[in-house]
Structures are given as C-alpha cells and as structure tokens.
Structure 1
Amino acid sequence: MIQVCLNGPRSAADGAAVPLSPGAMAESAAGAVAAGAAEVHVHPKTPCGDDTLSPRAVAQALTAIRAVVDVPVGVSTGAWAEPDPGRRVDRVRSWTVLPDHASVNWHEPGAESVAAALMERGVAVEAGLWSGTDGPRRFLASTSAPRALRVLAEVMDTDPDTAEESARSLLAELAAVRGVPVLLHGEDGGAWPVLRHALASGLDTRIGLEDVLFLPDGRRAASNAELVRAARGPLDIRWPPRGHGPHSGGGDP
C-alpha cells in the first residue's frame, strides 16, 4: 500500500505544487489516487497556510477531499499545530467531521491522551514513531499500542547514503511490536532510499510533497501524482537533485 502525504507542514515557500487550500488539497488527492495511492494523509491549513487542528479547517479539508476520492483520509495531530496537549485533546473532541485515521507522534507530550481522545471518537490511530527519539520505547510500553491502526515508522535521517541503514535500525527497534502493521517512510534526501527499502521488505509506505519535493532522478516534482507514479515504477535514484546539496530537498523555494 502506498499512502500519499499531500502537504505536511510545508508552505507556499516550498513551491506552488504544495496544496494549501481545501480545493487544492482535493485536486491533488484526486490526481494521486488516480496515480495509484490507496490512502491520503493531509495537514489542514489556516488561510495563512499554517497547520491547524481547528474543527472548521479539518472539516473543510476532509469534505473537499472526500468529494473527489473514495479512499481513507487521515490527518496529522502534530504538536506544532497545537503545542498545548490539553488544547490538542480539546481540538480532537471538537471536530465536527472525523477523519478515518489520524497520526499521533509518540515522542510528543500528550501523545497518549490525544490517542485516547481519537479512539474514543472512533478515529483510528497511526502511531508516528520517529527515529532518534524515545517514541518507539514509549509506544512499546503503551497500553494503546495493540489498538493502533498501524505504526508510521518515520526515518529522520535525510542523508541518502545512510537513510536506508537508519531504516533498518528503526525497524529493529520495532521488532517487539506484534500484530500492528508498519508503514515505513523517509524524508527529503532519505525519502527514496527508505521507500525502496520498504517496498523490498514488503512493507506499506508513503510518498508525497510532505516528505520530498524531488523525483528520484533529481527533477522537481510537479505534483503529488507524479511522486506516486514514480514510487510505483522502477526506482533509479540519483541524488542530490541537480544544483542542490544532499540535504536541501525540503527547504528550497
């Protein structure tokens, strides 16, 4: 299964291809699903383009996307959208339109409470376990772990030469997880090597403008659909992108 991650915390500074409005999110989701994505992950935005958990923004994004695709749609509950754990829980409880699932980063303060609030509302939880954090350890000790929809194994190493080995190390940390599917993905320079490792290992994965702005051959991606098509084809990875350093994929305008 390939999930498309439409936008993440990126902004207009990351290029016009990043969908920020509900209409743009819907159009991008439709193209990505037509290209082969089986699920959608999206970050609802304020009118200024900032991530938000507000019920209005979540409802607008989900309603627009569901009008054009018939696949599961999930959102983020990242702490950067609402740093206060109590307010994050209140936001989840105030949602008027519910996603099919929501990601919860287990290393963030309040993760257990946010996950519990989601499950109480019938929203499935993707457990975001970032490499280099205590998220995996905390998740393995959590009573919520067996009820998670899946683990999002997130490799934070953006070096294309070492990201695949970092993925192996993260998966080894998660070896004690039983009965919970794993979706493995990377970021920026590490996105394509980690995706290739996920596919070779028979794991679910994801791709999209949240994770990487460039195609495997170094060209800038024109859309999420283009990234999904690349992920479904043979991966001839040539990194860094033309004219860019090995770690510049995610921040260049």
Structure 2
Amino acid sequence: MVQVCLNGSRGAGDGAHVPLTPSALAESAADAVAAGATDVHVHPKSPCGQDTLSARVLTPVLTALRDRVRVPVGVTTGAWAEPDPAARVARVRGWTVLPDHASVNWHEPGAEEVAAALLERGVGVEAGIWSGTDGATRFAASPLGPRVLRVLAEVTDADPGSAVTTARALLADLGPAHDRPVLLHGEDGGAWPVLRLAGRLGLATRVGLEDTLFLPDGEPADSNARLVSEALKWLPHSGPAKTM
C-alpha cells in the first residue's frame, strides 16, 4: 500500500504545486492514484489556508475527491486544527460527510476521545505514533488499540543521516502494535530514507507534498503524482487504482 499525502500543513508559500482548494486536491489525487497511490490523506483548508475540521470545509473537499477517485480518503484530526479536545470531538460528531478514515496523533491531549468519536461514527482510525513522543507507550495501553485501522509510524527526524535509525527505534517501541498494520513514513530530509526502509521491511508507506517537496535526487517535485511514481520504484506495486 502507498498512501498519497496531498498537502499537509503546507501552504501557498511552499509553491504553486501544493494543492489547497477542493478542485486542486481532487485533480492532484486523481493523478496520484493513476500513478499508483491506493489511499489518500488530505488536510482540508479554511479560506485563510489553515487546517480545519469544520464540516463546511470538509464536505466539499471529500465530495470533490470522491468525484475523481475510488480509493479510501482520509483526513487529519491534528490538534493544531482544533486545539481544544472537546471541540475536536464536537467537530467530528458534526461532520455531515464522513471520510473513510482519519488520523489521530496518540500523543496529543484528547486522542482517546477523538478516536472513540470516530469509531462511533464508523470512521476508520489511523493511530499516529510520532517518534520523539510518548505516543507508542500510550497506544500500547489503549483499549482502542485493537480497533484502529492501522498505525501510522511517523518519523519526525528530518535528518537523512539518522532518520532510519530513528525509524527502527520507533518500530521497536511500537512492538506488536495490537497486531494492527503499520504504515511507516518520514518527513522532509528523512522522507526518502524511511520510505526505502519501509520497502525493505515490506511495510505500507506514504509519500506526497505533505512529507517532502523534493524528489530523491534533490530536484523540486512538480506534483504528488511524480512523488508517487518515484516511490513505487522502491516498493512492491500491483498497478494503479481506479479513477473517474
């Protein structure tokens, strides 16, 4: 499995190739799926370009994406999009169009409550376990662990010289991870070394402009589809998914 992470916290200042509007996100997702991505992760943006969990923003983004692709689509529930845990839960309960899954960062306050609200609504949970946090310990003790869709092992070490070592340590900290599938990925300078490690270990992974703005040779990436195409050179691949 290779997930495409379309935009993340990037904004207009990160370059014209970062998709932000519903139509741009849908176009980018369709191209990435045609290139071989089998899952989509997106950060819906408010009119001022900030990540948001608002149903008024989420609905047109999900509708536009589903008009173009027939693969699972997930969103973030990061605390930066809604710092108050109770308000974050209320946002989830107020969604009128549901994503297939949503990431929940287990080191953040309110993670258990947000995950429970998602599960109550039938939304799959990606348990985000970040390196350098106590997320792995919290997740190991969580009664919700066996119910999550998968674990996102997120290597926040952006140093290409040490990211793989950090990734191996994170996987060791995760241990059996409630026997859930693990998706391993890195960011910025660590994105490509960690992706290659995921390929060697036979783990799911992800790539996209959220995680890196550059191709493996250091050239700027002109699209999410180009990043997916490069990633698949290092990963087992069964062919592109269906687009509309």
TM-score between both structures, scaled by the size of structure 2: 0.95
**Are residues 234 and 173 of structure 1, via their aligned partners in 2, closer, same or farther at CA, if it must alter by over 3 Å?**
closer
Partners of 1:176 and 1:126 lie apart in 2 by 16
SS of corresponding position for 1:194: helix
Partners in 2 of 1:177 and 1:126 — Cα distance? 12
1:31 aligns with 2:35: no
Letter in 2 for 1:186: G
Cα offsets for 1:35-89 (capped at 9, x unmatched): 0000000000111111000001111110000000000000000000000000000
- The answer to whether residue 89 in structure 2 is matched with residue 94 in structure 1 is no
Q: How far has the Cα of 1:234 moved from its partner?
A: 4.9
| In 1: Cα distance, 2:226 partner to 2:136 partner | 32
In the other structure, the counterpart of 1:195 is 195
Contact 2:52 2:81 in 1 (8 A): yes
1:80-121 per-residue CA deviation (whole Å, 9 max, x = no partner) reads: 000000000000000000000000000000000000000000
How many angstroms apart in 2 are the aligned matches of 1:220 and 1:108?
32
Corresponding position: 1:14 with 2:21: no
SS of match in other structure, 1:146: helix
Task: Work out the number of aligned pairs and report it.
Answer: 235
What SS does the aligned partner of 2:213 have? coil
2:9 partner amino acid = P
**Alpha-carbon distance change, 131 to 234 in structure 1, aligned in 2, over 3 angstroms:** closer
Residues in 2 aligned to 1:56 and 1:9: alpha-carbon distance in whole angstroms = 19
2:57 maps to what in 1? Answer: 57
User: Any idea what SS the aligned residue of 1:183 has?
Assistant: strand
Q: Which has the higher helix share?
A: 2
1:141 aligns with 2:141: yes
Aligned-pair CA distance for 1:176: 3.1
Mapped pair 1:214 → 2:214: yes
Letter in 2 for 1:158: A
Distance 2:234 2:65 in 1: 29
Q: Structure 2 CA distance, aligned partners of 1:193 and 1:121?
A: 36
Preserved CA contact (<8 Å) 2:8 2:43: yes
Aligned residue type for 2:162: T
Say whether the 8 Å CA contact 2:196–2:234 is kept in structure 1: no
- After superposition, the C-alpha distances for 1:193-224 in whole angstroms (9 at most, x for unaligned) are 00000011000000000000000000000000
What is the match of residue 122 of structure 1?
A: 122
Residue 195 of structure 1 aligns with an amino acid whose one-letter code is: L
Does the 8 Å CA contact 2:102/2:125 hold for their aligned counterparts?
Answer: yes
Task: Give the counterpart letter for 2:76 in structure 1.
Answer: S
Give the conservation status (yes or no) of the 8 Å contact 2:145–2:178. Answer: no
RMSD: 0.9
In structure 1, how many angstroms separate the alpha carbons of the residues matched to 2:15 and 2:186? 20
- Structure 1 equivalent of residue 161 of structure 2: 161
Q: Secondary structure at the match of 1:52?
A: coil
Q: What residue in structure 2 maps to residue 240 of structure 1?
A: none
Query: Which amino acid letter does the alignment assign opposite residue 178 of structure 1?
Result: H
Task: Name the residue aligned to 2:72.
Answer: 72
TM, length-normalised to structure 1: 0.92
Identity of aligned pairs, percent? 70
Instruction: Specify the code of the residue in structure 1 equivalent to 2:25.
Output: M
Q: Tell me how far 1:177 sits from its aligned partner.
A: 1.6
CA distance, structure 1, for counterparts of residue 143 and residue 135 of structure 2: 14
Runs of 4+ more than 4 Å apart = none
Gaps of 5+ in 2: 236-244
Deviation at 1:131, TM superposition (A): 0.3
